[in-house]
């Protein structure tokens, strides 16, 4: 079993990385392998809604980490996405990545347990946490919870490490992720067959 942890900060080893490292260490204790994938700090396009990805599970743009993220999520058993809070929301680079990763490929991520982790200096963690969870709940990904909303406070890694409650919350989300993955493996259950998706765009169809 393996879990992919996406570090959506422009800092490779900043606060978000410190938070994700705590999750990774606890997963390892529970016998689950993991990998932290940094999205980098180079330019990332937003989604241009060209719909080229539809049915392909790949973005038409190949000059950043988006297609790598899609392939790695498909290969993983579980997913954790970490974001610093920027103006009360998801950091811009990560938002661009996630919109393009999930637009079509979300159908390939169904039933993979997922968790959001946020890192902020002071405020906006709740909004950011909710916004990240939207990607999972539109994708049939079971959301893994903890004893609080998964977040840490700090502007530097040493401040994050001093956030004892935040770090404990992250260890528990790792435990719950490992538990869910191991339950699923032990039960050997396959997902139910799905209905073809209905999509109506809220217009009134001609009857």
Q: Is 121 in the site for ligand FMN (CB under 6 A)?
A: yes
Q: Which of 9, 26, 133, 169 binds ligand FMN (CB under 6 A)?
A: 9
Q: Which of 4, 59, 120, 174 binds ligand FMN (CB under 6 A)?
A: 120
Instruction: Using the minimum distance from each CB to ligand FMN, give the nearer residue, 10 or 57.
Output: 10
Q: Which of 14, 57, 93, 166 binds ligand FMN (CB under 6 A)?
A: 14
* Whole-number Å distance between alpha carbons of 110 and 103: 13
Q: Which of 47, 65, 85, 174 binds ligand FMN (CB under 6 A)?
A: 85
Residue 201, sorted as left (phi over 0), alpha (psi -120 to 50) or beta, turns out to be: left
Q: Which of 1, 11, 58, 168 binds ligand FMN (CB under 6 A)?
A: 11
Shortest Å distance, C-beta 24 to ligand FMN? 15
Q: Determine the residue with CB nearest ligand FMN.
A: 14
Shortest Å distance, C-beta 120 to ligand FMN? 3
Q: Which of 21, 26, 34, 119 binds ligand FMN (CB under 6 A)?
A: 119
Q: Which of 63, 123, 137, 138 binds ligand FMN (CB under 6 A)?
A: 123
* Whole-number Å distance between alpha carbons of 118 and 129: 6
Instruction: Using the minimum distance from each CB to ligand FMN, give the nearer residue, 30 or 161.
Output: 161
Residues 6+ positions from 181 with CB-CB distance below 8 Å: 1, 3, 32, 77, 78, 113
Shortest Å distance, C-beta 116 to ligand FMN? 14
Q: Report the candidate in 181, 88, 83, 64 with the shortest Cα–Cα distance to residue 135.
A: 83
Residues 6+ positions from 17 with CB-CB distance below 8 Å: 7, 9, 11, 36, 38, 82, 157
Residues 6+ positions from 102 with CB-CB distance below 8 Å: 109, 135, 138, 139
Q: Is 31 in the site for ligand FMN (CB under 6 A)?
A: no
Q: Is 161 in the site for ligand FMN (CB under 6 A)?
A: no
Token pair 């709940």: residue: 137
The per-residue b/e assignment along 97-120, b for 16 or more CB within 10 angstroms, e otherwise, is bbbbbbbbbbeebeebbbbbbbbb
Residues lying near ligand FMN in the complex (CB under 6 A) are found at 9, 11, 14-16, 84-88, 119-124, 154-155
């Amino acid at each position: 079993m393996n879990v992919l942890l996406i570090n959506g900060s422009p800092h490779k080893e900043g606060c978000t990385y410190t938070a994700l490292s705590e999750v990774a260490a606890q997963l390892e204790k529970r016998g689950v392998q993991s990998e932290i994938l940094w999205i980098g700090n180079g330019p990332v396009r937003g989604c241009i809604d060209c719909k080229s990805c539809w049915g392909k599970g790949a973005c038409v743009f190949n000059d950043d980490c988006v297609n790598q993220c899609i392939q790695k999520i498909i290969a993983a058993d579980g997913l954790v996405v970490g974001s610093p809070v920027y103006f009360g929301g998801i950091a811009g680079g990560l938002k661009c990545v996630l919109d393009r990763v999930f637009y079509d490929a979300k159908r390939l991520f169904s039933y993979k347990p997922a968790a959001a982790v946020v890192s902020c200096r002071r405020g906006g963690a709740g909004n950011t946490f909710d916004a990240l969870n939207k990607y999972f709940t539109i994708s049939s990904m079971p959301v893994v919870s903890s004893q609080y909303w998964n977040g840490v406070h700090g502007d530097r890694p040493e401040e994050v490490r001093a956030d004892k409650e935040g770090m404990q919350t992250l260890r528990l989300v790792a435990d719950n992720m490992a538990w869910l993955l191991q339950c699923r493996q032990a039960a050997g259950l396959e997902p139910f067959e799905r209905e073809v998706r209905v999509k109506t765009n809220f217009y009134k169809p001609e009857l």
